[in-house]
Structure 1
Amino acid sequence: MSMFKWDVVDPAPGEAVAPHQRLPWGKTVGLGAQHVVAMFGATFVFPLVMGLDPNLAIMFSGICTIMFLLICANKVPSYLGTSASFVASVAAIRGQGGDSSDVTGAILVGGLVLALVGVLVHVAGARWIHRILPPAVTGAVVMLIGFNLAPVVAGIYWPQDQWVALLTAAFMVAAAVMLPGFWSRIAVFLALIFGFVISWLADVVLGPITSVLGGATEATEHDRVSFAGVRAADWIGLPSGDLADGVSVVHGPSFSLTFVLLVLPGVIALIAENTGHVKAVAEMTGEDLDPYMGRAIGADGLATAFASAFGGSPTTTYAENIGVMGATRVYSTAAYYVAAVVAILLGLCPKFGAVINATPGGVLGGITVVLYGMIGLVGAKIWVENRVDFGDPLNLVGLAAGLIAGIGNVTLQITDDFELGGIALGTILVIVFYHMANLRSGDDTGRVSQAPSTKE
């Protein structure tokens, strides 16, 4: 049967629609648009904070989603949005003087490494990954990646407009916990709109603000919201122009071993994300997706490498879209093809990209202070769900040094022109020290407690 031939169904409300099925095209298009809204906020916020082009990221998210579905033979319904796993690495690269081409070059290599891991998983199974990267290690790496970003919020985004940042963060938290169902899942998008409105009102009522814009060194007086770029942008066209560092929006990558080492910890996070995504989808659909685990990991790696080759952002499978499937019980891959096409069309609208680029710094400060913390706490979530036992001193000793090195940006000078630091050094210490601590015990599977799991 062709991959592009779905069984048409129109079930009663609440009944599931399988990946190989679809609703009538009218309803399928509506569901596809819903998936676009679900992925939208994070998919363009993360390129903004990485200094890459959000319009290009939106377009490649659609292209890469189609790549993913084809490689996985339409068995794993997923949307590939912008990954947060490399945000800390990108901040470290730019902090060491790297530009956008250095960023995309390092991420491209990271994508190829992830693709290789996917091939190995497909051939040999996932068991060896769990031995090298047990939950204790994976949780620690994800945690240090997230918390390493705290200085970025404190030094770049928050000071641009602290009161708008605070109000935006408060709204985002309130929206996530108080709004019903689907609306709570798009809290990032709603917070962005709220922040725009608050910033515009502040300009009208209070006038311009004096602060240091991102990338600048001195405070200047400026409006919080400026739509000059929106008015100048075309309605239809390919992403173009220059990024804030002078590199073209669409550009080729540059390669540096130092910068590549900085992004490799993000690969570990992506392995965990993709593995968890496939398991979650399998549980929701009731289908055995283990044979497609390697394909999913490899597909995400190839998608990340492909997008980075043109200056795009790294990708990952999106939990936001799992939430949409859970709420609707529609797992049809046809809806994801619709979402991908919509994203590509949005990416071909420069005026849409100009609106995104007009996001005030204070709004980004409010959103990132929550999002970065959430990334770090995902590491704790991995520990809890896998019952990692911190009553066992071997876990404490094995993970402690790497966490502090990663979060605190500790550096190790290797030669005059090469050093390891921050998340790269922290990840190496977490992996090496953890296995050293557990060497004599012969237990390298995560040292879990015997208490009942808290995971439902």
Structure 2
Amino acid sequence: MPIWTLHGNGRTVEPGKVVGPGERLNWPATIAIGAQHVVAMFGATFLVPILTGFPVPTTLLFSGIGTLLFLLITRNKLPSYLGSSFAFIAPITAATATAGMGSALAGIVAVGVLLAAVGFIVQFAGLGWVDKLMPPVVSGTIVALIGFNLAPVAWNNFAVAPVTGTVTLVAVILFSVLFRGFLGRISIFLGVIVGYIFAAIVGEVDWSAVDAAPWIGFPTFHIADFASPGTWSVIVMFLPVVLVLIAENVGHVRAVATMTDPSVNKQTGRALIADGAATTLAGFFGGSGTTTYGENIGVMAATRVYSTAAYWVAGVVAILLAMSPKVGEVFNSVPAGVLGGVTTALYGLIGIIGIKIWVDNRVDFSRPVNQYTGAVGLVIAIAGFTMVWGDGFQLGAIVLGSAAALVIYHLGNLIARWRKTGADDGGGLPVIGQLGGDPQ
């Protein structure tokens, strides 16, 4: 069992200081903070299985197990909760519709294995190659296109009950705008509660499954299917998610290091390995892929408590919640109108996060190579481009958009460097020649 040093008097955070990963407050305070982390992760974590049709208790179980596994692999030096990743929603939705849940789970496993492999490389070779492969203009495009690709899914749910969808959406926005701190960070969760209450009042909620479900029981498990004919095209569709998970994990580590100790950055490789292992385990048995959670970063920033002890509490609580089928059925009873309202905001926010990567890194959009990297990738995703080869092997919009962003950026800059060296001074590439300048 991990051992933590007691911070100060154990009851409060000393002025001007933070509770580091290897410290803790007294156990009552630590348990209370752990409970806050559960609330912070819950709104986002339960939404993913609801939107993808995965069992909520199973996702919660592997979320909790994944968090404990993360803490073990990072040697109890990196505080993080591993919740359901939104980046998986689009490929899971497409995969389950065309090839079934088993194939979707195989895609999750493939992402987990690849992410862990990247983690091992980072552990020994550093992060420089990742930054070169996926600079801000590319990473921002990939994150944004995953969110915007889901826009039709949000509309399909919204159209079922537009009044309920509108009430939910307005509630999400108001909670986000009116409240600061913790309540503002869980505005999506609060909006779902408001929408659910409204839906119940107008008779849109069916509680029959909730009444029939037992209070205690094991989650439902599903096994990843690698044998179905369509599985390998599904796996290819999932692979761009790895780029998003890398960006999220690296950002999480850097945020914690900034607030606590720069030496935390040394855990970056282990963080990627841990998230990869947790995602692989979840995918094998019916859970959704995981990622480090910004919601929980917010809780740590507000409380100044970065103790990993609080995350052990949160992981255990998530596992206990997963052992109640009735809790799972409550979430399964959320009607389509509520989901439509919340996902209108949620999917748009995923897209905006990608755009924020551009803004924060001051991406120069006067350069045509950057313009086309973002423009082509986003249009492919929003329009839902697909390509089919041979016996049903299909590449979806997320794969095509991500590939387009990577190829346009790197090929464009390669040609630009070639032009600057004086090759083909006869003017053979007058348009591409405008791509010159340092990559950004």
Q: TM-score, normalised by structure 1?
A: 0.88
* In structure 2, distance between residues paired with 1:175 and 1:447: 39
Distance 1:12 1:119, change over 3 A: closer
Q: Secondary structure at the match of 1:81?
A: strand
* In structure 1, distance between residues paired with 2:104 and 2:214: 28
Task: Tell me the CA shift for residue 441 of structure 1.
Answer: 3.4
> Which of 214, 227, 230 is the equivalent residue of 1:234?
214
* In structure 1, distance between residues paired with 2:436 and 2:245: 21
* In structure 2, distance between residues paired with 1:293 and 1:7: 23
Contact 1:398 1:436 in 2 (8 A): no
Aligned-pair identity in percent equals 46
Are residue 421 (structure 1) and residue 396 (structure 2) matched? yes
**What is the CA deviation profile of residues 409-449 of structure 1, one whole-angstrom value per residue up to 9, with x for unaligned ones?**
1122332422323111111111112111110334999833x
Are residue 148 (structure 1) and residue 149 (structure 2) matched? yes
Distance 1:444 1:78, change over 3 A: farther
Read off the aligned partner of 2:35 and give its amino acid letter.
A
Contact 1:399 1:434 in 2 (8 A): no
Alignment of 1:382-397 (within 5 A): 382-397=357-372
Task: Tell me the CA shift for residue 13 of structure 1.
Answer: 6.0
* In structure 2, distance between residues paired with 1:190 and 1:130: 36
Alpha-carbon RMSD: 1.6
**What is the CA deviation profile of residues 329-383 of structure 1, one whole-angstrom value per residue up to 9, with x for unaligned ones?**
0010000000111110000011111111111111111111100001111110111
> Which of 6, 12, 17 is the equivalent residue of 1:8?
6
> Which of 229, 240, 251 is the equivalent residue of 2:222?
251
> Which of 257, 274, 277 is the equivalent residue of 1:299?
274
Alignment of 1:119-130 (within 5 A): 119-130=120-131
| Alignment correspondent of 1:210 | none
Task: Tell me the CA shift for residue 181 of structure 1.
Answer: 1.5
**What is the CA deviation profile of residues 147-172 of structure 1, one whole-angstrom value per residue up to 9, with x for unaligned ones?**
000011112x1122111011101100
Q: Secondary structure at the match of 1:292?
A: helix
Read off the aligned partner of 1:382 and give its amino acid letter.
I
| Alignment correspondent of 2:299 | 324
Are residue 401 (structure 1) and residue 376 (structure 2) matched? yes
Contact 2:192 2:338 in 1 (8 A): yes
> Which of 436, 440, 447 is the equivalent residue of 2:439?
447
| Alignment correspondent of 1:170 | 170
Distance 1:260 1:445, change over 3 A: farther
* In structure 1, distance between residues paired with 2:218 and 2:13: 42
* In structure 2, distance between residues paired with 1:12 and 1:292: 25
Are residue 376 (structure 1) and residue 383 (structure 2) matched? no
Contact 1:168 1:363 in 2 (8 A): yes
Are residue 359 (structure 1) and residue 334 (structure 2) matched? yes
Read off the aligned partner of 1:145 and give its amino acid letter.
I
**What is the CA deviation profile of residues 177-203 of structure 1, one whole-angstrom value per residue up to 9, with x for unaligned ones?**
211321111112211211111111112
Read off the aligned partner of 1:6 and give its amino acid letter.
W
Read off the aligned partner of 1:119 and give its amino acid letter.
F
Task: Tell me the CA shift for residue 395 of structure 1.
Answer: 1.0
Are residue 61 (structure 1) and residue 32 (structure 2) matched? no
Alignment of 1:84-99 (within 5 A): 84-95=86-97, 97-99=98-100
Alignment of 1:277-292 (within 5 A): 277-292=252-267
Alignment of 1:428-439 (within 5 A): 428-439=403-414
Task: Tell me the CA shift for residue 132 of structure 1.
Answer: 1.1
**What is the CA deviation profile of residues 280-333 of structure 1, one whole-angstrom value per residue up to 9, with x for unaligned ones?**
111111332221111101110110010111101110000000000000000100
> Which of 78, 81, 88 is the equivalent residue of 1:79?
81
* In structure 2, distance between residues paired with 1:168 and 1:417: 39
| Alignment correspondent of 1:187 | 187
Q: Secondary structure at the match of 2:316?
A: helix
Q: Secondary structure at the match of 2:389?
A: strand
**What is the CA deviation profile of residues 30-78 of structure 1, one whole-angstrom value per residue up to 9, with x for unaligned ones?**
0000100000000001111011011111111111000001100111100
* In structure 2, distance between residues paired with 1:344 and 1:318: 17
* In structure 1, distance between residues paired with 2:326 and 2:373: 50
Q: Secondary structure at the match of 1:438?
A: helix
* In structure 2, distance between residues paired with 1:369 and 1:415: 36
| Alignment correspondent of 1:105 | 106
Alignment of 1:327-342 (within 5 A): 327-342=302-317
Aligned residues: 415
* In structure 2, distance between residues paired with 1:409 and 1:371: 19
Q: TM-score, normalised by structure 2?
A: 0.91
| Alignment correspondent of 2:429 | none
* In structure 1, distance between residues paired with 2:302 and 2:78: 17
Q: Secondary structure at the match of 2:109?
A: helix
**What is the CA deviation profile of residues 238-296 of structure 1, one whole-angstrom value per residue up to 9, with x for unaligned ones?**
013xxxxxxxxx11111311000111111111111111111111111133222111110
Read off the aligned partner of 2:213 and give its amino acid letter.
A
Task: Tell me the CA shift for residue 173 of structure 1.
Answer: 0.8
* In structure 1, distance between residues paired with 2:114 and 2:261: 30
Q: Secondary structure at the match of 1:5?
A: coil
* In structure 1, distance between residues paired with 2:436 and 2:92: 31
* In structure 1, distance between residues paired with 2:357 and 2:436: 16
